[in-house]
Structure 1
Amino acid sequence: MFIETRFHGPDGSANGGYAAGLLAGHVPTDTVTVTLRLPPPLGIGLAVTQEDDRGHDVRLWDGERLIAEARTGAIAVPPVPPVPFEQALEAAEKFRRNKEHPFPRCYVCGPERDAGDGLRLEPGLVGDGIVASPWEPVGTPDEATVWAALDCPGAWAFDSSGRPMVLGTMTAQVTGLPAEGERCVVMGLARSREGRKLHAATAVYGADGRLLGRAEQIWIEIDPERFGT
């Protein structure tokens, strides 16, 4: 498996959702749980090993370093419901006023990425612990891109400005792919907190309200100096 350098979250590390989505593609089920053990490296060849006969448990390695694990998962709770696209546009304006982005070059939500080079999601508040972002894909997204879109809004539901956090575990299910330029809405919900561990949920909806993907996540707050923020 190879993660191109442009798909980073923190500088020098892959975006967690995108890396998880690539690895999830090696598991032959529609719902997959990915646990990230170390920041996924960029621009080098990574080994994927199969830990069972059916391929329902795989691991990602950088030499002898275990980077991530993926296995068949399940989601038992309802998805975060959507808001109208126009409300997501208004929420994006709130996001733009926030000047304390921990990873401004993030492939998913980095404001310093050019349109087309990054997803440029802008998850702004629409309720207590609920964020929404408009998303009009440039090009035709694949499943790993939908996993990426499902990533960062979970952190922003906890207002991650000035408090960097990284994805620890993500269980996601992708049920459809948006068309190029489709007016999608991406939702994020803050479920609960246990010290530095935060539980979130995300969902992506198409222009007609159909559910394209959903995720349950665990985020970990980190020392800002770890990634040079």
Structure 2
Amino acid sequence: MSISTFYLKFSCFIFFIGISYTISAQSVSTNPCKDVWVATDSKILMFSPEPGEVIKPILVPVNGSLNPDIEWTWTPSLGMVDAQGNDGTHLLHPFFDVQKLGDLGGNAFTTTFYITGRNAKTGCNTFSSIDVIILARVKPYDAITPNGDDLNDYWAIDNISSYPEATITVIDRWGVPVFEGSGETYEEKPFRGKLDGKLLPTGVYMYRIKPNADYPDVVGSLTIIR
């Protein structure tokens, strides 16, 4: 046998061993549950309905296997509906209808919803979760009349107590802060049109409220009337 013939046979031998190993490795790594999966966005953000306000259901941001053998279940189920407003507890792509939670009175609401999937034929399971964060609207009044008559003597901010970590800043026309407070203490220490105990002049002031990381800044103007 020549040297060239030897190397040719040896190379073919290694080549077929490689094919055999690859096929064997693939057969060992086959996962019967690879088609059972689900994933969701981390959260849904929305405002709490005011009394009498109607908010349309929103599609839940979720993706998952389309294998028809998988049975899906949402827990808790309250608020999960189909496109017609019927029970959507066992849908992969339901809508969330905040109206199903009843009258929230504009208050904040947060819960975690879990979706689980199970393929009874293979016994494979999967799950994911999504936080539904319903924000109470921060509603600052636009004027105060701090004259000591107990009517509008301080700046009212509806629902600010729902955001204890909120920061509240009021500035004058030159951009100088005349008030800085927090949501945690605002109801006890509201802005009364004073700076260091002295009355601020009549005029228009600007404010910025940062409720929390999920809520966009609330900015606007506040008028002091004397």
With the length of structure 1 as denominator, give the TM-score of the two structures: 0.18
Compare relative contact order (CA 8 Å, sep 6+) and give the higher one, 1 or 2. Answer: 1
With the length of structure 2 as denominator, give the TM-score of the two structures: 0.19
Structure of higher CA gyration radius: 2
